[in-house]
Structure 1
Amino acid sequence: MTQQHAICLIVDGLRASALGAYGAAWAPTPACDVLAAESILHDRLWCDSPTLAGFYRAAWTGRHAAARLSIRPEGAPSLPRLLGDAGIAVHLVTDDEQLPASIPGDAQDVAGVLLESGHPTAPAAATESTAMYQFFAAAAEEIARGATQRSGQRRLWWLHCRGFSGAWDAPTVVRDSLWSDDELAPPTFVESPLRVATDDPDDLLAHRVTYAAQATVLDQCVGDFLAAIDDLGLGETALVMLAGARGFALGEHGETGAAVDALFGERLHVPWLMRPGRDDAPRQRRSDLTQPQALLTSICEWFGVDAGVHSQDRVATAALGEDGEWALLTDEWLLRMPPAQGDEPCRGQLFSKPDDRWEANEVADRCPDEVAALLAAAAAAGLPVPAAVD
């Protein structure tokens, strides 16, 4: 029997390491952990681009930043168009006024609701007053309006939240609960950092604690949102997804902020939880490498729609950045080619995976054979391997 509805929650700036199900210990995320326990959890979803447009190119068209790694041909209809042609209504709800510039051209006319996100100037008095909570509450109301129309029409609600790229207005009480420095006052800033270059421990602590406070807020948002769709009778049968559109740098490589696009795990590795209704089927924790194109194929499979995907055996994932920067991830290694620096020979950076989770120990000099093999794989994937590599 064809399934009826799907709800896809996309949170910008949500890195995998923010959730307890992915090993986070800095802040509790019990609601997301419960969702993870009921879901197929994808351990290694890596974005192929650090940009929002890149995420939507992949998730809505199946096209990869490196064309050879695409799973659908150029010009193939986007996910909203595919579903619309199959009689499935697609509803886009977002609080990001910049999002329309990032979605594929043939999806520009998708039925959408832009919610006012406001511009907080101080921490919220309570979680229910935060910008993120207001988004989830309004999104639940939009779903309620559609769900009460007993038309029998199948629906996809695609909810895109600015998340960690928006205001960091977690209440002071939440920040205080995570702050461990007795000599410094907890941070009170609410503007999400764009690009801050610092290795000062106090600055790093302030940004990381405030990010963790936002993760705590998100967790309550998710918990209350799921309770709301349960009240609508959707929780038992609808497909529910929670994923990050891209991660967020918190100083692991010298910079913090939403505009830090260096191709490291903190920016590319995002969570993906997929709950196909509530039933007795066993849930999986999947460790295979995957990229955002898989969201498209999973949603199409749920609705019984042919996505027009050509099969592809993948032993690596890749990402493309600016100025020739790219990264290639396999089960054992991450090879990163930094942006070109004038006429200087490019020097690849090699990190052992999964042991070196934060890409802190660069070992290219000690593993020349592995670097050579990965460069060959990158060239085969169509990545711009420089002629001269140091």
Structure 2
Amino acid sequence: MKIIVIEADGLRAEFLGPYGNDWVETPSLNRIAADGFVFDHCLIGSPHRAVQTAALWTGLHPTQIALHRSAVGNSVSLGDRVSSQETSGDGTLQEDPAQRSIVSLLRKQNWKTVLISPESSVLAHPLAQTFEEHRLVGKSPDDAGDEEHSSFRVVQGELDVTPVGRPAEDWAETRTAVVFSEVCETLSQIEGTALVWCHLSDLRNYWDAPLAMRMRHHEEGDPEPWSGTNVPRLRFRGEVDPDWLLPFVSAYAAQVEVLDLCLAGLWSTLEELAHREPWMLVITSARGMPLGEHGWLGTWHAPLHAELLHVPFMVAFSDGLGQSERSQALVYPHDLAVTVLNWVGVDTPIGRTGNTVGPEKTWVAIGGEDLLPIIRGEVDQVRDRLFVWDGHRTLAVRTRGWFAQVRLVGQEDAEEITDSSGALGSGEEAVPDEATLQDLTVVSARADLANLVKMRTQEGEDSLSDWEIEELRRRVRLFVKPDDRWEVNEVADRCPQIAGEFLKMTAEFLYSFQSLADVSRQSSYLALSVLPDNLVRGPEA
């Protein structure tokens, strides 16, 4: 029995054929989707790689990972207490996240575990030590000057960006191809039960797809294709000509096509393997990549929008389970941890606390959930909302009918965190410290406006004052889903009551996390208010 996870950091769902793209060539992904199961609405829980990676391996929400880190102190790594504690019998977490990681739990069942990546920082992650084998494959992007020439910059408009490095002459020479060759060789050689986790980072920081592949998307009159391997990381304060962005979009698309070509070889290996033993393949991403949308290019510091948050989640099985099916359920990438463990029959240590909730409350899964019941057609969904936290300034909430960004800071920070379109930025690439978390619990107490909206609604008043609408507009950005796929039509000022509901939901989310600050009582569920129909169904309600 084999489990293969392809985690392609920077892979956007919108560039793949199974998610509606018709101009990037992805025949292998199309075939895998036809033979497997596709989740249409998968959002990451955080854009910060360290906590998002830990979430993928543990099934905890990234915000839970951040609380863990604060609880043990920023000077203590997540893995420093791997063997220190155990889980309690009531479904709560008492140990370091490493103890409940998918890797640790499989190794207790004598599974082999292999982590393959071209990026040394991934192999150095505190939780990576739980893998039995670590394989660093391919050259570092530093060799091409990526770090020096792709540093983040804020600019007023278009500028000359210097290409650095030389793309591969043939796709088989790319770093992605080298990594996949190692994955296929590992699957051919390793005996017995094994987890092979492949982390790819080229979409995010090393564009080495051949120029010939980039030229496929070049038309007469377009700017010359991007000729470097470095990835520009820019924030634009002014308007940018879409044509100026075309070389970078084409380079990214070519990199996606390289990934697809490599998946063809992996799929052939798995077809041969299916004659000998069962396997499960998962394809997902830790985060997407902005390519000029909302004024950002190439950086994960960008606002919490679809180009950064919406990632693919595809699952295929050797026996054809879920073949050619797809789901509209709201899922996280870290659902894969619990799903994989349930597929192999390993109990997961996290669950509800056992307490009951009143008629106006419901358990909402923020940690990983088993998606096998959805794949088997037994249920339609495992949660009715998703939460994305940037670690400091913004909480995003997705329901079936809406997507909202809620600002967690005061007016004095507004200029600092808004981009040219007014979207909310995600701040520095860092895990929040304990002081920041305490500040956010204070923010959750600023529920005056939310309470006022609730009171006025209960009193039967149909409209809000101009001041209330302006305050909601400043704090909440609201988009209709799934119609507004690219989140360009902000409607908070036209739907103030809905915006107020999301503000209340944010306060409730932050209040609920106060009860989880004690590491010994960290659960995968929050008891939150039941969603009213107009938050579930969108404007049609």
Range that drifts further, 224-233 or 302-311: 224-233
CA positional deviation for 1:196:
4.5
Which secondary structure state, in structure 2, belongs to the residue aligned with residue 374 of structure 1?
Answer: helix
For the residues of structure 2 that align with 1:270 and 1:84, how far apart are their CA atoms?
Answer: 28
Q: Map of 1:263-282 to 2, 5 A cutoff?
A: 263-279=304-320, 282=323
Kindly provide the amino acid, as one letter, of the partner of residue 329 in structure 1.
R
For the residues of structure 1 that align with 2:172 and 2:342, how far apart are their CA atoms?
Answer: 35
Q: Does 1:82 align with 2:105?
A: yes
Compared with structure 1, are the counterparts of its residues 333 and 72 closer, same or farther at alpha carbon in structure 2 (3 Å cutoff)? farther
Q: Does 1:137 align with 2:181?
A: yes
Q: Do the aligned residues in 1 keep the contact of 2:296 with 2:302 (CA within 8 Å)? A: no
For the residues of structure 2 that align with 1:181 and 1:196, how far apart are their CA atoms?
Answer: 28
CA positional deviation for 1:185:
2.3
1:254 aligned partner: 295
Kindly provide the amino acid, as one letter, of the partner of residue 342 in structure 1.
E
Q: Map of 1:2-13 to 2, 5 A cutoff?
A: 4-13=1-10
Compared with structure 1, are the counterparts of its residues 238 and 364 closer, same or farther at alpha carbon in structure 2 (3 Å cutoff)? same
1:285 aligned partner: 326
1:294 aligned partner: 335
Which secondary structure state, in structure 2, belongs to the residue aligned with residue 364 of structure 1?
Answer: coil
Q: Do the aligned residues in 2 keep the contact of 1:186 with 1:206 (CA within 8 Å)? A: yes
Q: Map of 1:185-204 to 2, 5 A cutoff?
A: 185-197=224-236, 199-204=240-245
CA positional deviation for 1:183:
5.0
1:332 aligned partner: 401
Q: Do the aligned residues in 2 keep the contact of 1:95 with 1:117 (CA within 8 Å)? A: yes
1:342 aligned partner: 412
CA positional deviation for 1:108:
4.4
For the residues of structure 2 that align with 1:187 and 1:224, how far apart are their CA atoms?
Answer: 27
Which secondary structure state, in structure 2, belongs to the residue aligned with residue 286 of structure 1?
Answer: strand
CA positional deviation for 1:141:
1.6
Show CA shifts across 1:306-330 (max 9, x none): 0123154421101111432110111
For the residues of structure 2 that align with 1:181 and 1:310, how far apart are their CA atoms?
Answer: 57
Which secondary structure state, in structure 1, belongs to the residue aligned with residue 53 of structure 2?
Answer: helix
Compared with structure 1, are the counterparts of its residues 109 and 20 closer, same or farther at alpha carbon in structure 2 (3 Å cutoff)? closer
Q: Does 1:24 align with 2:152?
A: no
Kindly provide the amino acid, as one letter, of the partner of residue 170 in structure 2.
A
Q: Do the aligned residues in 1 keep the contact of 2:36 with 2:321 (CA within 8 Å)? A: no
Aligned counterpart in structure 2 of residue 318 of structure 1, from 372, 387, 390:
387
For the residues of structure 1 that align with 2:31 and 2:331, how far apart are their CA atoms?
Answer: 23
Show CA shifts across 1:44-80 (max 9, x none): 1100000222222222222213449x99636352111
Q: Map of 1:1-390 to 2, 5 A cutoff?
A: 4-67=1-64, 73=93, 75=95, 76=97, 77-104=100-127, 107-108=129-130, 110-118=132-140, 119=143, 121-146=165-190, 149=191, 153-182=192-221, 184-197=223-236, 199-233=240-274, 237-279=278-320, 282-311=323-352, 312-313=363-364, 314-338=383-407, 340=409, 342=412, 346-382=474-510
Q: Do the aligned residues in 2 keep the contact of 1:263 with 1:321 (CA within 8 Å)? A: yes
Which secondary structure state, in structure 2, belongs to the residue aligned with residue 223 of structure 1?
Answer: helix
Compared with structure 1, are the counterparts of its residues 67 and 302 closer, same or farther at alpha carbon in structure 2 (3 Å cutoff)? same
For the residues of structure 1 that align with 2:93 and 2:314, how far apart are their CA atoms?
Answer: 27
For the residues of structure 2 that align with 1:95 and 1:315, how far apart are their CA atoms?
Answer: 36
2:434 aligned partner: none
Q: Do the aligned residues in 2 keep the contact of 1:249 with 1:260 (CA within 8 Å)? A: no
Q: How many residues align?
A: 376
Structure 2's unaligned 5+ residue stretches are: 68-90, 145-164, 353-362, 365-382, 415-470, 514-541
Q: Do the aligned residues in 2 keep the contact of 1:236 with 1:278 (CA within 8 Å)? A: no
The structure with higher relative contact order (CA 8 Å, sep 6+) is 1
Show CA shifts across 1:224-270 (max 9, x none): 22223334457972101111111001111101113333211111110
CA positional deviation for 1:193:
2.4
Q: Do the aligned residues in 2 keep the contact of 1:63 with 1:74 (CA within 8 Å)? A: no
Name the TM-score, length of structure 1 as normaliser.
0.88
Aligned-CA RMSD value: 2.6
2:79 aligned partner: none
Kindly provide the amino acid, as one letter, of the partner of residue 21 in structure 2.
A
For the residues of structure 2 that align with 1:379 and 1:134, how far apart are their CA atoms?
Answer: 47
Compared with structure 1, are the counterparts of its residues 306 and 129 closer, same or farther at alpha carbon in structure 2 (3 Å cutoff)? same
Q: Do the aligned residues in 1 keep the contact of 2:18 with 2:30 (CA within 8 Å)? A: yes
1:388 aligned partner: none
Q: Which has the higher helix share?
A: 2
Structure 1's unaligned 5+ residue stretches are: 386-390
Compared with structure 1, are the counterparts of its residues 166 and 67 closer, same or farther at alpha carbon in structure 2 (3 Å cutoff)? closer
For the residues of structure 2 that align with 1:195 and 1:73, how far apart are their CA atoms?
Answer: 40
Compared with structure 1, are the counterparts of its residues 21 and 235 closer, same or farther at alpha carbon in structure 2 (3 Å cutoff)? farther
Compared with structure 1, are the counterparts of its residues 279 and 255 closer, same or farther at alpha carbon in structure 2 (3 Å cutoff)? closer
